[in-house]
Structure 1
């Protein structure tokens, strides 16, 4: 889950995700499905608190201690990234009950529907895959698989969608959560596939392939891997994992160690980065970094790799939807590999030499994917699953980017399967000189303050530095369980010293009337 308050890059030398007891994963030494079985043996036999016990678990596992930090129920189906939630639920007071519209009450959402396992214990009450969600949206999702939506029939107040499937090979109805929570949900699925390895092969579900090892059909597996990569583990997930461990006695290993996902099922690793624009491995997968929709045949795309490792392009392709309707094109396959920090340029073979020298491109082609206009959505696909997009699929004939060049802002921290114009800077027609050459980081929006906390990790003493001077900021520091351990008003660069802090991850909230930012520090 991406945080609503942007987590700035703060000179993190290393990042410890969860807080599992020492030695908890000491027997998880294998790879592939051997590792999956080892994890199953670690997390099986948890304490079943019963279906009604979920309400008690939610008192500690699903409270908002990071975003609005108002202690309300944290609901994946109503929370809005970078904006005000449409409604909030008070723990206990707003528990369902009956509902008729969004915002009436919260209930218990089984990510893997109860009907799949016949409401059997302990699956029916395992909090690791059953978060609290809005009752109405829970009902809208019903028993449909989670997936990427092609055409939405229903859109909820936080942008979750029900509609026809865009998952390759599946033509049914799917429910797509907001981008900010896709990783959270993917890791719940991976948990279920591992915790119930001994029974999952007997379950009938459109996302499952009736095996105990891969568990998922290949198209749905590729989608979950993409969601896991696009939306890295957040502080909220870590807090939730710790709280459920305190109640059930087992953990979600894919929150504690996100790399387990790829060690078992393959795919690109989900990072733990908190900032964008760096060249040291801050992006979770390849992404579109530039788009040229110029005059005549001046069409070009740039793809960038900031994952921290070289990536084979054999699984990637570019597809286009024409005039905002219809199906994706058959696709332009990418070839070769892309080094970390490298850029891959694809141009229309008739591009003007005054715009770009086509012999410098990685691919020069006349294929339909490079004949896009300003109302044609263009998608980057991995193993047939959409991971990044320019424009809106089924967005209609209106232009979203005609006769312009778009360059991705450094604040965009991952590829996104939903287009937002706010992720891009816009330049005049035929601005081509930057293709393949950009090395300097773009500057963040000047309305946002830049904050650094260093050193990190530290022993409880660190310095806060602000880009805006002569401002008064309220500094509050919280543990992952929401306990406030420090509060102070400061007006300039300050050394913060807190004695007797236990080792772990803490959140530093910096706020005034116009800004509200959160940093993550590690105390060793």
Structure 2
């Protein structure tokens, strides 16, 4: 089955056309525009509770709680909005890294290129009801047969005492294959108990039509597949990670700009007429715009926040 999915994906997508997101804001925008743009009123809905939502602004959205029977537990403001949840929590991505010990997520996002790459990997981000995202926190996934639902009809569970969560059955396969992807691609450790659980979920909950379509869209945006989704790889207990997502970092080929510093000490130039920005390296039109049309930015995130998009001819 997975081999057929892989053939289907490769036949449709011959060439990637987008570059990796640099900031969390860029990742959210890419997900809205290229992956979830038409999923806000779908049968699958938000990943854990199946709620529909209305898009608002650049990448935010307002949840239709009645569409899924979601009941607010304690955070009304977060229950009303969508959030982009890390399926493998940010804590799991960073807590073993030195940057985390010296300042947590904020410091890692600012100073550690490897963490930034993991943090904005589109496949690890999915749209969730904000309150469930907050309640799930960085809890591990497990089976919670004796735990009562705490968010109305939302079928996903949270056990605060055990610091654990269980996604609804509809999401378990996607969760498992995302865990395999993230741990293999970024050489993250996974306990044997978590491996066994994810292997069961992967087997019992094969890809849905939406997961197949989601992977097709992800492939077009990122230029690479999830090999555990396509059938290129299968996870076995004691799996040896490949670490493909970090190899070019160690070889110095991946250049990502710090959120606090300008690239190579130069400024990013935006064109106030076209609302397109150009980097000082890799963008052929950096010097082409008239001086009176130039707007300077220190970081790409600053440019994106101002409503600019990256020039299409940047390498």
- Of 127, 149, 152 in structure 1, the residue corresponding to residue 147 of structure 2 is 152
Q: Shift of the alpha carbon at 1:54?
A: 2.2
Other-structure match for 2:120: 125
* Aligned counterparts of 1:107 and 1:53: Cα–Cα separation in 2: 14
1:234 aligns with 2:230: no
Question: C-alpha deviations, 1:365-409, integer Å up to 9, x for none?
Answer: xxxxxxxxxxxxxxxxxxxxxxxxxxxxxxxxxxxxxxxxxxxxx
Matching of residues 205-354 of structure 1 within 5 Å: 215-257=189-231, 260-262=234-236, 265=239
* Aligned counterparts of 2:129 and 2:149: Cα–Cα separation in 1: 15
Name the SS of the counterpart of 1:91 in structure 2.
strand
User: Which has a greater percent of strand?
Assistant: 1
Q: Shift of the alpha carbon at 1:258?
A: 7.1
Higher relative contact order, chain-length normalized (CA < 8 Å, sep 6+):
2
* Aligned counterparts of 2:55 and 2:236: Cα–Cα separation in 1: 36
TM-score normalized by the length of structure 2: 0.55
1:176 aligns with 2:166: yes
* Aligned counterparts of 2:79 and 2:52: Cα–Cα separation in 1: 7
* Aligned counterparts of 1:103 and 1:88: Cα–Cα separation in 2: 12
TM-score normalized by the length of structure 1: 0.34
Q: Is the 8 A contact 1:111 1:188 kept in 2?
A: yes
Other-structure match for 1:90: 54
1:185 aligns with 2:161: no
Other-structure match for 2:10: 21
Other-structure match for 1:196: 186
Q: Is the 8 A contact 1:77 1:133 kept in 2?
A: yes
Name the SS of the counterpart of 1:175 in structure 2.
strand
* Aligned counterparts of 2:148 and 2:44: Cα–Cα separation in 1: 27
RMSD: 3.4
Name the SS of the counterpart of 2:165 in structure 1.
strand
Q: Shift of the alpha carbon at 1:162?
A: 0.9
Other-structure match for 2:263: none
Structure possessing the higher radius of gyration over alpha carbons: 1
* Aligned counterparts of 2:129 and 2:232: Cα–Cα separation in 1: 27
Unaligned runs of 5+ in 2: 14-18, 64-74, 95-99, 106-114, 241-315
Q: Shift of the alpha carbon at 1:164?
A: 7.0
Q: Is the 8 A contact 2:60 2:82 kept in 1?
A: yes
Q: Is the 8 A contact 1:95 1:105 kept in 2?
A: yes
Other-structure match for 2:81: 105
Q: Is the 8 A contact 1:149 1:164 kept in 2?
A: no
- Of 136, 157, 164 in structure 2, the residue corresponding to residue 161 of structure 1 is 157
Unaligned runs of 5+ in 1: 1-11, 25-45, 80-86, 166-171, 201-214, 267-524
Name the SS of the counterpart of 2:139 in structure 1.
coil
Name the SS of the counterpart of 1:155 in structure 2.
coil
Question: C-alpha deviations, 1:133-161, integer Å up to 9, x for none?
Answer: 11010001011111111432653332111
Total equivalences in the alignment: 200
Other-structure match for 2:133: 138
Q: Shift of the alpha carbon at 1:264?
A: 7.5
Say if 1:152 and 1:16 are closer, same or farther in 2 by CA, change over 3 A: same
Other-structure match for 2:90: 114
Q: Shift of the alpha carbon at 1:95?
A: 1.7
Q: Is the 8 A contact 2:3 2:230 kept in 1?
A: no
